[in-house]
Chain A
Amino acid sequence: MRFLLAMAWRNLWRNPGRSAITALAMGVAVALSMATLALQDGMFSEMFQIMVEQQLGHVQVHPGGTRTLENTLHHGEALTERLEALPSTLAVSPRVQGFALLSGEGSAVGAQLVGVDPAREPAVSPLLSKRIRGEALPVSAARRVLLGYKLAEKLQAEPGSELVVFTQGADGSLANELYTVAGIFRSGDAALDRAGAILHYRDLQELLVLGDQLHSLTLLARDKTALPAYAQQVRDALGDPSALVQTWREASPETAEMMSMQDASSGVVLGIVFVVAAFGVLNTMAMSVFERTKELGILRAVGVRPGKVVGLIVLESLLLSGVAGLGGLVLGGALDLYLVRVGMDLSSASSDGFSFAGVMLNPVIHGEVRPLGVLLILSSVVVVALLASLFPAYRAARLDPVEALRAE
């Protein structure tokens, strides 16, 4: 074995130019794949944060049936506390929703009202931290509102401006109240930025005449990998068969579908590595076997079994891919480090950030490195090198010793 290894290693560097170019191509493919994968993972992670954690939570509770203003979860406070008491619960956020006409300086605009609990919401979603101007919502109800930055532009509202909120209560009564703009937010969710107004859920309950009723509860589980089981625990704790308990995948299948694109696009990246590695190794090993026909004949003549000849060629290819993989890992590691720390700035293309599937992403994409992804890239290089060497190795083992010895 030691002999085969030494021979394989020395054979590899008999044509240093060819081996180095092949190794370089494979190494660069590994490094670029690592960087691309890190950027993709970073982008999907931000999307997951905006689309799932900020909006959907891990599990949602809604009243069963049509979503209307009047269809609610009763005893909101008690329900919230009961779910908070579950050991697998990380956080619970009660929410109330409605529509209203907001009237500011000379213009009136339709808006989506989102009532949240400022004390509980930060544990579930970063929504309230997306404020870009003004003050936070106070923890107790005080008729203050946060406006999406585009809605604020339309209303020409600034922190401190006063707005009149017109809406219809659950009992059919008309309500109008004077609210003060606390701050302006920019969430990355295009719809919310355009028409969203966030206020204290108690204020919204009062405005909509809902008492202690809620429209939904958004929950985060301690273990986000076991959400169906967690959803069942929530169902059991609610004891209300009419309530609809859904994981985020069930609540928004289109989001789930989009997230599954992550795996598909990782597959494309790996495919590129596969092709580069396969052609590189196949070419290098096929040439190397062709050039060494006579030598392989000698090996057979002195008593090397055909299987060992296969082993020698495969070993050469594995060493080549090992060198390439190691070099690629170093280069790719440096690229990944840069992408994680500094990120890739796309603001020259769009200073506002860019939109992907309705989500406004930060213009500076930060990489995220999954060790499993790196491992997958490296192992795919090795596996492909192994497979690509089998054909030349098979040919080498099948050489007719007499013919091979006659070769020049």
Chain B
Amino acid sequence: MSILSVRALSRTYHQGTQTIRALDGVDFNVDAGEFTALMGPSGSGKTTLLNLIGGLDRPTSGVVEVEGRPLRGLSPGALSDLRLHRIGFVFQSYNLIPVLSAYENTEFVLALQGVPAAERRERAMRTLAAVGLAGMEGRRPSELSGGQQQRVAVARAIAGDPALVLADEPTANLDSHTGAELIELMARLNADQGVTFVFSTHDPKVQEAARRVVRLVDGRIDGDEQRAP
């Protein structure tokens, strides 16, 4: 079943007198349990596509449906609720809340979801252990390495049990070894816990882990291949 359905999606920006077509009629579905890489050079529209899917940005035309629910017409508050409950985000530059510890960054999403305190604690601890950060729960982002921070970001994204995790160039700020470890972690979470991932990258090594690779060029889909795990 499709968790995500994108139809004829376009997004144009105006810069002075220039019109930039960041996305140009993209059609794209994601089923539950997929581990999909969006490949493409800088400026091909990967980030724009992920922002539109997550409801952070609004399309110029076209449709985005998450679990059959169209995003068009949702208020900023309703979009916030959708992200909180159904979509996890991992960003290129970690983007943790600096005043919260690793544990609190993870627990924060659960608290916003209204999960009771005892369950929250258990789930946050379990999630941090699953991303390999047991024992580092009390550290603030400034006390963690880049790879560790990105693991916290993954923990925060999956803690709330979303239908879909969107990761925008999650390995871009990491060295190749740490980047490979992170993708391995995401692949394991996908295989073991069935978390659906859509991540963008332009690193050919990273895409090797993906079971589906969607290629974007100049805002259009240029290829969509399934791979054996």
Min CB distance A111 to B, Å, is 78
Within 8 A of A (CB), among B116-155: none
Q: Which residues of A contact B57 (CB under 8 A)?
A: 401-402
Is B209 interfacial (CB 8 A cutoff)? no
Min CB distance B19 to A, Å, is 18
B109 touching A302 by the CB < 8 A rule? yes
- Cα–Cα, bound, A376→B100 (Å): 36
Known: A306-B80, A402-B57. A3 touches B108 (CB 8 A): yes
Chain A interface residue bracket vs B = 20 to 34
Is B98 interfacial (CB 8 A cutoff)? yes
B108's nearest neighbour on chain A, judged by CB, is A3
Interface of chain B, main secondary structure: helix
Q: Which residues of B contact A305 (CB under 8 A)?
A: 76-77, 80-81
B76 touching A306 by the CB < 8 A rule? yes
Give the contacting residue for A301; candidates B81, B83, B85, B104; CB below 8 A: B83
Min CB distance B160 to A, Å, is 8
- B160-199 vs A, Cβ < 8 Å mask (1 yes, 0 no): 1000000000000000000000000000000000000000
- Cα–Cα, bound, A400→B137 (Å): 31
Give the contacting residue for A303; candidates B84, B91, B107; CB below 8 A: B84
Within 8 A of B (CB), among A296-329: 298-308
Known: A3-B108, A402-B56. A303 touches B97 (CB 8 A): no
Q: Which residues of A contact B82 (CB under 8 A)?
A: 303
Q: Which residues of B contact A11 (CB under 8 A)?
A: 99
Interface of chain A, main secondary structure: helix
Q: Which residues of B contact A7 (CB under 8 A)?
A: 97, 99-100
- Cα–Cα, bound, A7→B111 (Å): 13
A306 touching B99 by the CB < 8 A rule? no
Min CB distance A183 to B, Å, is 73
Give the contacting residue for B97; candidates A298, A307, A401, A405; CB below 8 A: A298
- Cα–Cα, bound, A14→B89 (Å): 25
Give the contacting residue for B54; candidates A2, A14, A301; CB below 8 A: A301
- B51-76 vs A, Cβ < 8 Å mask (1 yes, 0 no): 10010110000000000000000001
Known: A301-B56, A301-B83. A10 touches B99 (CB 8 A): yes
Is A294 interfacial (CB 8 A cutoff)? yes
- Cα–Cα, bound, A298→B84 (Å): 12
Is A135 interfacial (CB 8 A cutoff)? no
Q: Which residues of A contact B85 (CB under 8 A)?
A: 303
Q: Which residues of A contact B99 (CB under 8 A)?
A: 7, 10-11, 14
Known: A402-B51, A402-B56. A299 touches B84 (CB 8 A): no
Min CB distance A310 to B, Å, is 12
B97 touching A299 by the CB < 8 A rule? yes
A302 touching B77 by the CB < 8 A rule? no
B83 touching A3 by the CB < 8 A rule? no
> What residues make up the interface of A, taking CB atoms closer than 8 Å to B?
2-3, 6-7, 10-11, 14, 294-295, 298-308, 401-402, 405
> What residues make up the interface of B, taking CB atoms closer than 8 Å to A?
51, 54, 56-57, 76-77, 80-85, 87, 89, 91, 95-100, 104, 107-109, 111-112, 156, 160
